[in-house]
Amino acid sequence: MSVLADRSSTTWFRTIKRCSSPRTRLLCFPHAGGAASFFRSWADDVPDGVEVVAVRYPGREDRLFDAMADSIEDMAGSVAEACRGFLGTPLALFGHSMGASVAHETALRLQEEYGTRPAALFVSARTAPGRPHHPFSYTEDSELLEHVRSLGGTAEHTLRDPEVLDLVLPSLRGDYRLVGKYEGTAGRSLQTPVVAYYGTRDAKADRDALACWSDVTGGSFTLRAFPGDHFYLVDNRRELLADLFAHLGHAERGVGAVA
């Protein structure tokens, strides 16, 4: 069975903070090469009543031997279908880097196929869809690892340990293949608030291209910067989450079925 044929929540989601009766659920999408465990530290800074769930991409951690997705669009379709059990509770999506593209595509699927408008879409360190971009390409693994090193956020010993690299490199290669072939979505608009975040020292973050996330929605748009590089959200976790939940508190009141 193809990994994408199994679209259950037990396959795709890891609960970071559980609530018995959540008023809101935050679904988090990792970056290229990242995993659901990237968000485990968020549990300590989330308000009561908010459940945090991270997406478990195939090809890493406890899905290490699952086949990689063929495209960002296919992965988003699987995640959206797995979300069906969540749709009785307001659902917000947060995606960092590649995860922002997967989150956006998932939000579109939820709106178009399930008639549900997410409470908010939070995108981080990722160019808006449809904007010119120059996807990273490489011929040797050493080039890929040097690119990852330049982004920050990855421990140096991880990038030098042969046994760790044997586990990490396949998902890195696969994710960058997905990013390289992804062209974004034109002519489809969300009806949900969008907030875009970036680090002020992120060489890959083009402020104007990030501002163009305003074009993907008929709802409100906010652009926010934090000090730091591509992984600004590690050192600014508490401030980021405070800002995120302040926006979400306003957005929740407008969530519901698409008219």
What is the chain's alpha carbon radius of gyration, rounded to the nearest angstrom? 17
Angle at 216 between CA 201 and CA 17, to 5 degrees: 65
Cβ contact 121:102 at 8 Å: no
For residue 182, give Cα distances in angstroms to 29, 46, 119, 215, 246. 16, 32, 25, 18, 31
Pair type for strands 194-199 and 221-226: parallel
The amino acid present at 196, given as its one-letter code, is: A
97 noted as active-site residue: yes
Q: Read off φ and ψ for residue 164, nearest 5 degrees.
A: -65, -40
Q: Which of 97, 101, 124, 171 is catalytic?
A: 97
Active-site residue set: 97, 230
